[in-house]
Amino acid sequence: MITPIERHEQFITTSAGGFNRQHPAMRMFQKAKQLGVWDPASIDFSQDQQDWQQMSELERDVALRLVSLFQAGEESVTLDLLPLVMTVAREGRLEEEMFLTAFLWEESKHVEFMRRYLDEVAGAHHDLSHYHSPSYKTIFYEELPRSLNRLLTDPSPTAQAEASVTYNMIVEGVLAETGYYASFEAFKRSNLLPGFTQGLNLMMRDEARHIAYGVFLLSRLIVEHEEVWEVVQQRMMTLVPPAMGVVQEVFSAYDGEMPYGLTQDEFLGYAMNQFDRRYQRLERAKSQTLEQIYRIADQTEEASSE
Ligand SMILES: [Fe+2]
Ligand SMILES: [Fe+2]
């Protein structure tokens, strides 16, 4: 249970050697300041507006479905991150909290980008929730808010691990990465929607840092607390079926008529590969030391995005 903090006994930044500028989260914070500073409001959508008018009704429906999934996903990660930020702050992990402020700011920009797209390109002001399929609802309406908000009453290491697996490994690491990659490839191959692909590219770079933080957090928890690995493993397995279900349900909505050269096998394969990579990465943490975790934490995910 949480006991409220009533006073600070000292400050990390004014204590002798308390603040660690070499902390992996600080290295991620430096990168966020250099790479995360892009403005969703200044991306040029004029070609996208023309393309939208020329696209077929089916092409528009698929694009609108994808944007509606991204939009609600970005909103939910923005709303649901705060309990984790609070948990990390309460543990006095200032360096991690500092990175999480950039993380949350970036998610807010992703919300802005998608909503701007709906307003200015798709002209979609009606309710879009009918695009949210059963598996999507399981993850974004239930599992994500439940596992993150549980931290408000139970900030234990195993609760943190369940929250981070749900948020960083499944929602960001499998679903966002697969969705962004699929859309980026589809529109790029079709030579359509250049403003959208530009935004997706920038968002993928942000997401790589978010996932890198999740890998660090989970690895740290796995090394520090013996009981965490079992929870991580179980949570990953519990969430695979609905995560793959999200991809399948996008394709089944179009009954073999999917435009843009998108195929279900390619993207299920991509999603499963993301899952396997993350799982193996976390499994390696079991045999690593805390010192190794701190040294390599920010190197793997981001190397692929820059
Ligand atoms: Fe995001
Ligand atoms: Fe993210």
225 C-alpha to center of ligand 1: Å? 29
Residue-wise pLDDT for 35-52, tens only, equals 889 999 999 999 999 999
| Average pLDDT in the chain | 94
Rounded to whole angstroms, the Cα distance separating 218 from 169 reads 10
Distance 295 CA to ligand 2 centre (A): 22
Q: Is 5 helix (H, G, I), strand (E, B) or coil?
A: coil
The pTM (predicted TM-score) of the whole model is 0.95
Distance 228 CA to ligand 1 centre (A): 26
Query: 172: closest CA among 197, 129, 130, 203?
Result: 203
Contacts of 30 (CB under 8 A, 6+ apart): none
Tens-place pLDDT, residues 154-173: 999 999 999 999 999 999 99
Ligand nearest to the CA of 202: 1
User: For 2, which DSSP code?
Assistant: P
- Identify which has the larger pLDDT, 35 or 140: 140
Question: End-to-end distance of the chain based on CA atoms, in angstroms?
Answer: 41
Ligand closest in space to the Cα of 169: 2
For the stretch 186-230, pLDDT in tens is 899 999 999 999 999 999 999 999 999 999 999 999 999 999 999
1 falls in which pLDDT band (50, 70, 90)?
low
What is the distance in A from the centroid of ligand 2 to the CA of 148?
14
Q: How does pLDDT run across 222-252, given as a tens digit for each residue?
A: 999 999 999 999 999 999 999 999 999 999 9
Cα(164) to ligand 2 centroid in Å equals 12
| Interatomic CA distance for residues 157 and 168, integer angstroms | 15
CA of 287 to the centre of ligand 1 (A): 31
The predicted pLDDT at position 305 comes to 43
pLDDT at residue 300 in the model: 56
- 52, 248 contact by CB (below 8 A): no
CA of 226 to the centre of ligand 1 (A): 31
For ligand 1, the distance from its centroid to the CA atom of residue 20, given in whole angstroms, is: 27
> What pLDDT was estimated at residue 303?
44
**Centre of ligand 1 from the C-alpha of residue 16, in Å:** 37
CATH no. for 56-303:
1.10.620.20
Dump pLDDT digits (tens) for 66-75. Answer: 999 999 999 9
- For ligand 1, the distance from its centroid to the CA atom of residue 111, given in whole angstroms, is 7
The average pLDDT across 52-69 equals: 96
What is the average per-residue pLDDT within 135-155?
98
State yes or no: pLDDT of 78 exceeds 50. yes
Distance 191 CA to ligand 2 centre (A): 26
DSSP SS3 for 16: coil
Q: How far is the CA of 207 from the centre of ligand 1 (A)?
A: 6
pLDDT confidence of residue 35: 86
What is the distance between the alpha carbons of residues 283 and 29, in angstroms, rounded to a whole number? 26
Protein residues with C-beta less than 5 angstroms from the ion ligand 1: 74, 107, 110
Position 36 scores a pLDDT of: 82
Confidence of residue 298 (pLDDT cuts 50, 70, 90): low
Distance (Å) from CA 259 to ligand 1 centroid: 25
Alpha helices (H) along 150-226 = 157-164, 177-189, 194-224
For residue range 252-261, list pLDDT tens digits in order.
999 878 999 8
Distance between Cα 7 and ligand 1 center (Å): 34
Residue 199 Cα, ligand 1 centroid: separation in angstroms?
11
Going from the Cα of 145 to the center of ligand 2, the distance in angstroms, rounded, reads 15
Task: Give me ligand 2 centre to Cα 275, in Å.
Answer: 16
Reported as a single tens digit per residue, the pLDDT across 15-24 is 998 899 999 9
Tokens of 271: 């999603």
Query: Of 11-15, 140-144, 266-270, which one has max mean pLDDT?
Result: 140-144
pLDDT (tens digit, 9 = 90+) per residue, 93-136?
999 999 999 999 999 999 999 999 999 999 999 999 999 999 99
